[in-house]
């Protein structure tokens, strides 16, 4: 598998996850996570876990 197929597959998996439709408490937790970390946002962590 080449490097471009992997990136497209991860983006396709991530497109199915809708962070806007989560509950209010989940969105607050995500915003607290994003506030605490400067460069590693919640979306980047999800992509990292999907890749791993």
Q: Please state the rounded mean pLDDT for residues 35-52.
A: 80
Task: For 11-36, write each residue's pLDDT tens digit.
Answer: 787 788 787 888 899 888 888 888 87
pLDDT of residue 9: 76
pLDDT of residue 2: 57
Whether 10 contacts 52, CB under 8 Å: no
Q: Which residue has the higher pLDDT, 51 or 21?
A: 21
Residue with tokens 């809708």: 18
User: Which pTM was predicted?
Assistant: 0.59
- pLDDT for 42 beyond 80: yes
> Residue 11 and residue 46: Cα distance in Å, rounded?
11
> Residue 26 and residue 7: Cα distance in Å, rounded?
27
């Amino acid at each position: 598998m080449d490097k471009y197929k992997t990136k497209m597959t991860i983006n396709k998996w991530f497109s199915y996850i809708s962070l806007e439709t989560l509950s209010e408490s989940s969105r607050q937790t995500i915003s607290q996570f994003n506030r605490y970390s400067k460069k590693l946002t919640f979306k980047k962590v999800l992509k990292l876990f999907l890749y791993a």
